[in-house]
């Protein structure tokens, strides 16, 4: 709410018209109104940075609803889940105030999640299994390596990342393997064409798609299937697409296919903020929108409500250096504001310390809460030195992806188990977890198993169950495989209760029965599918194995009907549940967090906790797994009807920014790319050096002029995130890949007018103490934050109170009582500095004496 009040207060003009007081239009500018009230027909909104684009979009959705259009007929597509969530919430809040006839809600999501949803809904139409998995980049690379190997190509000559890049590019252009092969010229491309084919085969075998497939398959579905296209055109009668400058060809086709009939398509974007050409974004989608939709109305939003005049002037000056650009003039009625600080340091450590010093000054003397400050950089690698400086100073901070949470090994391991439960054909996940934790199953045994599975045409988990049939396996390996199969089986019964399990025909004494026992299926006998917390999956696996195993069916999608001597039976079909089929609508599945805990427990993931000395690493692993459970618990709370498959889809499509905590009370560190769409009162952009901010890949002989222009846009995006105070920083030397390198200031720094800038040269630090130049507070006083409208101040004040560093070292002394989330309460026995960190020895009441790192252990002080 503070945000809206702020806009209202900053708005030079409020419109005192008949509409005044109208919650939708009351406080909009003329241009914004024009965009909001344009109902039918194509609309292009060219929205400059900070011009109130999001509010325009949300108001427009509310306006459409107020015109009698059912919200469920509105589709809004954004770039990140976070943006989608914000837009959805703001729109729903507006809709709530309208007392509409239609109680429905609009669809607000990202392109990728929209596509995932549509592909699941229409999976049968394109021969895709409904339970398809979604690969992340690491998985894609593994598949590429396998495909290279099958083609006899070495990863040395064909860098997997580059091959993947080619394939990804092709998919973004809707070019499938055959078309790519036909168009390929030259040795590299013809080789990639072969890899592309095999890669596709591997994807299909694993019943998986990659990120690009989500778009490609949806685009082709809409293009080639008129019936489904018509249905969806009817469903999504009004379409809004945000960040249109960053859409690629596949997204363009999806948008056009959905809109071609009714042409009620509104796209918003800013060519100056196009920063994703490297991954296939096509700027001409937005530049030539009027060509595709000649009836299009065009609205320009050029007034900026975010930044000071100084910041805007500097950013505008920078961006006018782009030659391939339509002229657009941003202006603001905001104050001139403080000068931009341009800091030049000796090395990256000094740079980081200086940034931290300034932020602390502004916090302590200016009363700016930590979460109003952000530091941006071009490449993730830069974050480390900043992190160290912040830690040393004891300031609270959050990094938007240091190493991505869901990419951590232990997290991926747990998720791989879950994936395997949903999709037994998921070869990658199988290979990942078959020996995690270690079960003595090495490469030789696993490849024998894989051969057997391939020969018999069965999934790997099924092959595990029949391990005794596999020749040349050691007794130990057979036993290990069978135990793994039993583990997966019992977990699956817990995770995905077979639909109508009570109606299962009693299974004939099986050829592949693992565990002897009565075929007693009692848990669903009552007819309810509710999850029973008292249900013991281990016990169930043992007592019902012979029946339940058939439902584990790895083979649900197999073409060949089960023959008389088949090891499976017809009930195998029930292996994949669909939440949508649940007639009651109540949760049929146990909570994801419960499944996850069971996986962790039964697979003995936390085995290491038994070892006495907890090193930093395993502690971190544990806390990551705990965090994974916490996130899953939150998912359960928000999606009480979500299936495991739904959860995995959601997890596959989260981005880093999505995990950005709003009320974190911490300084935020992120890449310039991640910063798009955000705003902060104080922003620092570091490492503004040739080769980093115009990144060297945009320079050099491979780089082209348009690449440098994209780098400039990236810089522009970063600068225009700043509301009040901007710091631009560079350093004379920097450690790059272990070597200290001399650096040159970025050309972008020279493109910013001197009158916007105060230069601070820390190289003069070498001079005798007290000499002018360095830390001259008269030249550069850390000014208190400019007084703001009331609504803003309140929230700032609140944040300050809550923003004390959570982990300030001073809070932990020898003898203080602390709580650890795993070990419970204990007393600090020792504190020793180790390099940048602090080793702390804690005497826990129940867990004994442990040595931990204060910075990682997440200790909480205990009063008394």
Stretch that binds DNA, among 110-118, 519-527, 633-641, 813-821 (CB under 7 A): 110-118
Calpha distance 388→397 (Å, rounded)? 11
- Identity of the residue, 153 or 825, whose beta carbon is nearer to DNA in the bound complex: 153
The whole-angstrom separation of Cα 251 and Cα 47 is 20
Question: Nearest CA to 799 among 396, 390, 308?
Answer: 396
Q: Which is nearer to DNA, 214 or 842 (CB)?
A: 214
Instruction: Please tell me whether residue 623 binds DNA under the rule CB under 7 A.
Output: no
What is the Cα–Cα distance from 400 to 517, expressed in whole angstroms?
Answer: 51
Among 32, 233, 245, 445, binds DNA (CB under 7 A): 445
Q: Give the interface segment with DNA, choosing from 33-41, 342-350, 717-725, 730-738 (CB under 7 A).
A: 730-738
Q: Which is nearer to DNA, 696 or 804 (CB)?
A: 696
Let me know if 409 is a catalytic residue: no
Answer whether 83's CB lies under 8 Å from 242's CB.
Answer: yes
**Residue with Cβ nearer DNA (44 or 441):** 441
Question: DSSP string of 543-554?
Answer: HHHHHHHHHT-T
Interface with DNA, residue 834, by CB under 7 A: no
CB of 444 to DNA, least distance (A): 4
Binding status of residue 743 toward DNA by CB under 7 A: no
Q: Single out the catalytic residue among 721, 743, 747, 788.
A: 721
Q: Does 661 engage in binding with DNA (CB under 7 A)?
A: no
27, 212, 213, 242: the active-site residue: 242
217 is catalytic: no
Rg (CA), the chain: 29
User: Nearest approach, Cβ of 354 to DNA (angstroms)?
Assistant: 20
Stretch that binds DNA, among 441-449, 493-501, 757-765, 783-791 (CB under 7 A): 441-449
- Which of 10, 278, 405, 774 lies at the binding interface for DNA (CB under 7 A)? 278
The reply on whether position 673 binds DNA by CB under 7 A is yes
Of 35, 143, 669, 698, the residue at the interface with DNA (CB under 7 A) is 698
**625 contacts: CB under 8 Å, gap ≥ 6:** 410, 411, 414, 600, 605, 606
* Sign of the torsion formed by the C-alpha atoms of 490, 494, 495 and 501: positive
655 binds DNA (CB under 7 A): yes
Q: 830-837: which pairs have CB atoms within 8 A and are 24 or more residues apart?
A: 836/388, 836/391, 836/392, 837/391
Report the distance separating Cα 208 and Cα 733, nearest Å. 46
By CB under 7 A, tell whether 738 contacts DNA. yes
SS3 at position 330: coil
If the CB atoms of residues 211 and 417 are measured against DNA, the closer one turns out to be: 211
Burial of 838 (C-beta count, 10 Å sphere; 0-12/13-18/19+): middle
Q: Contact region for DNA (CB under 7 A) — 197-205, 350-358, 482-490, 733-741?
A: 733-741
C-beta of 14 vs 444, nearer to DNA: 444
Is there a catalytic annotation at residue 268? no
CB atoms within 10 A of CB 860: 15
Using CA atoms, how far residue 265 sits from 44, 237, 255, in Å, is: 8, 9, 8
Number of CB atoms found within 10 A of residue 527's CB: 8
Residues within window 188-247 making contact with DNA, judged by CB under 7 A? 211-212
Pick the closer one to DNA by CB: 440 or 640. 440
Should residue 797 be labelled a site residue for DNA when binding is judged by CB under 7 A?
no
Q: Which of 103, 156, 766, 778 binds DNA (CB under 7 A)?
A: 156
Instruction: Report how far apart, in Å, the C-alpha atoms of 484 and of each of 16, 324, 430, 479, 610 are.
Output: 71, 59, 11, 9, 22
How many Å apart are CA 244 and CA 79, to the nearest integer?
A: 9
Using CB under 7 A, pick the residue from 697, 750, 775, 798 that binds DNA: 697
Q: How far is the CB of 697 from DNA (least distance, A)?
A: 4
Least distance in angstroms from the C-beta of 802 to DNA: 27
Binding mask 116-145 for DNA (x = CB under 7 A): --------------------xx--------
- Cβ closer to DNA: 40 or 387? 387
Q: Which is nearer to DNA, 697 or 750 (by Cβ)?
A: 697
Contact residue for DNA among 70, 346, 391, 735 (CB under 7 A): 735
Piece in contact with DNA (CB under 7 A), picked from 9-17, 183-191, 360-368, 665-673: 665-673
Smallest gap from residue 579 Cβ to DNA (A): 22
CB under 8 Å to 580, separation ≥6 — which residues?
none
**Residue of 139, 243, 707, 710 with catalytic role:** 243
Active site residue 5: no
Q: Tell me how far, at minimum, the Cβ of 605 lies from DNA, in Å.
A: 15
Question: Who's near 395: CB < 8 A, 6+ residues apart?
Answer: 356, 359, 360, 363, 370, 667, 805
Strands 43-47 and 74-78 turn out to be unpaired
Q: Per the residue annotation, which of 54, 107, 146, 543 is the catalytic one?
A: 54
Q: Helix crossing, 211-224 with 160-172: angle to 10°?
A: 20
Residue identified by tokens 């200290």 is 740
User: What secondary structure letter does DSSP report for 323?
Assistant: S
Choosing from 53, 360, 713, 747, the catalytic residue is 53
Nearer CB in complex with DNA: 172/459: 172
Binding mask 467-486 for DNA (x = CB under 7 A): ----------x---------
656 binds DNA (CB under 7 A): yes
Which residues, including other chains, have CB under 8 Å from residue 465's CB and lie 6 or more apart? Answer: 482, 485, 489, 512, 514, 549
* 353 contacts 369 by C-beta, under 8 angstroms: no
Any idea what the Cα angle at residue 320 is, between residues 315 and 322, rounded to 5°? Answer: 115
Q: Can 53 be counted among the known catalytic residues?
A: yes
User: Which of 285, 322, 380, 423 is the binder for DNA (CB under 7 A)?
Assistant: 380
Least Å distance, CB 76 to DNA, is: 14
Q: Which tokens hold the place of 53? A: 């684009």
Binding segment for DNA (CB under 7 A), chosen from 349-357, 669-677, 678-686, 715-723, is 669-677
CA distances to 84, 86, 608, 755, 801 from 109, in Å: 5, 10, 40, 43, 35
721 catalytic per annotation: yes
Question: Contacts by 605-611 with C-beta closer than 8 Å and gap 24+?
Answer: 605/410, 605/413, 605/414, 605/437, 607/437, 609/822
Can you spell out the DSSP letters for 586-616? S--SPPHHHHHHHHHHHTTGGGGGGSSS--H
Rule CB under 7 A: say whether 110 interacts with DNA. Answer: yes
User: Hey, CA dihedral for 136, 139, 141, 146, is it positive or negative?
Assistant: negative
Q: Any idea which residues carry the catalytic annotation?
A: 53-54, 242-243, 273, 721
Instruction: Give the residues lining the site for DNA (CB under 7 A).
Output: 79-80, 110-113, 136-137, 156, 159, 161, 211-212, 278-279, 378-381, 401, 403, 409, 435, 438-445, 477, 653, 655-658, 670-671, 673-674, 695, 697-698, 735-738
């Amino acid at each position: 709410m503070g945000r809206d009040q702020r806009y209202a207060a900053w708005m030079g003009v409020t419109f005192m018209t008949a509409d005044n007081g109208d919650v939708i239009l009351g406080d909009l500018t003329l241009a914004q109104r024009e965009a909001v009230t344009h109902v039918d027909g194509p609309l292009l909104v060219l929205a400059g940075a900070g011009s109130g684009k999001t509010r325009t979009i949300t108001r427009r959705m509310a306006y459409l609803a107020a015109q009698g259009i059912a919200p469920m007929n509105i589709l809004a597509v954004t770039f990140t889940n976070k943006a989608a969530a914000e837009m959805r919430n703001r729109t729903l809040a507006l809709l709530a105030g309208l007392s509409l006839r239609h109680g429905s809600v609009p669809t607000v999501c990202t392109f990728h999640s929209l596509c995932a949803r549509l592909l699941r809904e229409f999976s049968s139409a394109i021969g895709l299994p409904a339970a398809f998995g979604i690969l992340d980049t690491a998985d894609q690379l593994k598949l590429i390596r396998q495909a290279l190997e099958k083609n006899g190509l070495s990863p040395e000559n064909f860098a997997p990342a580059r091959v993947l890049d080619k394939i990804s590019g092709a998919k973004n252009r809707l070019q499938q393997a055959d078309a790519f092969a036909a168009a390929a010229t030259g040795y590299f491309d013809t080789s990639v064409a072969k890899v592309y084919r095999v890669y596709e085969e591997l994807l299909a075998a694993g019943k998986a798609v990659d990120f690009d497939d989500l778009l490609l398959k949806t685009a082709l579905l809409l293009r080639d299937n008129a019936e489904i296209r018509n249905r969806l055109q009817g469903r999504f009668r009004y379409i809004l697409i945000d960040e249109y400058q960053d859409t690629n060809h596949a997204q363009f086709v999806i948008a056009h296919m959905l809109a071609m009939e009714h042409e009620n398509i509104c796209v918003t974007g800013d060519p100056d903020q196009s920063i994703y050409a490297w991954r296939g974004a096509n700027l001409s989608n937005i530049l030539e929108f009027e060509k595709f939709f000649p009836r299009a109305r065009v609205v320009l939003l050029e007034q900026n409500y975010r930044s000071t005049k100084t910041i805007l002037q500097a950013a505008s000056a920078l961006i006018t250096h782009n030659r391939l650009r339509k002229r657009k003039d941003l202006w603001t009625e905001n104050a001139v504001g403080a000068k931009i600080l341009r800091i030049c340091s000796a090395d990256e450590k000094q740079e980081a310390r200086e940034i931290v010093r300034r932020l602390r000054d502004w916090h302590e003397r200016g009363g700016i809460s930590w979460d109003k400050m952000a530091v941006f950089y071009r490449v993730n690698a830069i974050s480390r030195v900043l992190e160290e400086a912040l830690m040393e100073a004891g300031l609270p901070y959050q990094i938007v992806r240091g190493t991505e949470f869901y990419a951590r090994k232990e997290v991926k391991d747990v998720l791989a188990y879950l994936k395997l439960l949903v999709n037994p054909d998921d070869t990658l996940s199988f290979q990942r977890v078959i020996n995690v934790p270690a079960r003595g199953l090495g490469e030789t045994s696993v490849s024998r198993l894989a051969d057997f599975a391939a020969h018999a045409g069965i999934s790997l988990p099924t092959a595990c169950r029949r391990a005794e049939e596999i020749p040349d396996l050691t007794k130990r390996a057979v036993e290990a495989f069978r135990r793994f199969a039993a583990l997966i089986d019992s977990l699956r019964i817990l995770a995905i209760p077979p639909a109508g399990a009570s109606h299962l025909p009693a299974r004939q004494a099986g050829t592949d029965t693992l565990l002897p026992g009565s075929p007693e299926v009692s848990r669903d006998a009552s007819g309810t599918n509710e999850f029973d917390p008292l249900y013991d999956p281990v016990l169930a696996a043992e007592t019902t194995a012979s029946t339940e195993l058939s439902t584990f069916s790895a083979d649900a999608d197999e073409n060949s009907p089960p023959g008389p001597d088949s090891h499976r039976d017809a009930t195998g079909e029930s292996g994949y549940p669909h939440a949508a089929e649940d007639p009651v609508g109540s949760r049929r599945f146990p909570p994801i967090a419960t499944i996850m805990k069971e996986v962790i427990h039964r697979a003995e993931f936390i085995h290491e906790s038994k070892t006495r000395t907890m090193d930093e690493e395993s502690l971190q692993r544990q806390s990551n797994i705990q965090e994974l459970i916490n996130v899953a618990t939150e998912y359960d709370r928000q999606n009480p009807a979500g299936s495991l498959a739904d959860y995995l889809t959601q997890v596959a499509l989260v981005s880093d920014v999505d995990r950005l905590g709003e009320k974190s009370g911490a300084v935020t560190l992120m890449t310039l790319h991640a910063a798009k769409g955000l705003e902060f009162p104080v922003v620092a952009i570091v490492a503004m050096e040739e080769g980093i901010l115009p990144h060297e890949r945009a320079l050099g002989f491979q780089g082209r002029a348009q690449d440098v222009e994209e780098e400039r846009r990236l810089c522009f995006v970063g600068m225009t995130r700043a509301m009040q105070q901007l710091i631009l920083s560079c350093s004379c030397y920097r450690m790059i890949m272990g070597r200290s390198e001399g650096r040159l200031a970025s050309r972008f720094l020279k493109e910013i007018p001197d009158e916007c800038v105060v230069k601070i040269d820390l190289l003069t630090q070498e001079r005798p103490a007290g000499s002018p130049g360095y830390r001259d507070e008269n030249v550069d006083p850390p000014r208190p934050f400019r007084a703001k409208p009331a609504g803003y101040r309140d929230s700032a004040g609140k944040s300050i109170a809550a923003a004390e560093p959570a982990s300030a070292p001073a809070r932990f002394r020898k003898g203080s009582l602390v709580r650890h989330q795993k070990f419970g309460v204990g007393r600090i026995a020792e504190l020793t500095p180790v390099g940048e960190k602090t080793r702390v020895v804690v005497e826990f009441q129940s867990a004994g004496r442990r040595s931990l790192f204060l910075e990682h252990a997440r200790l909480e002080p205990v009063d008394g």
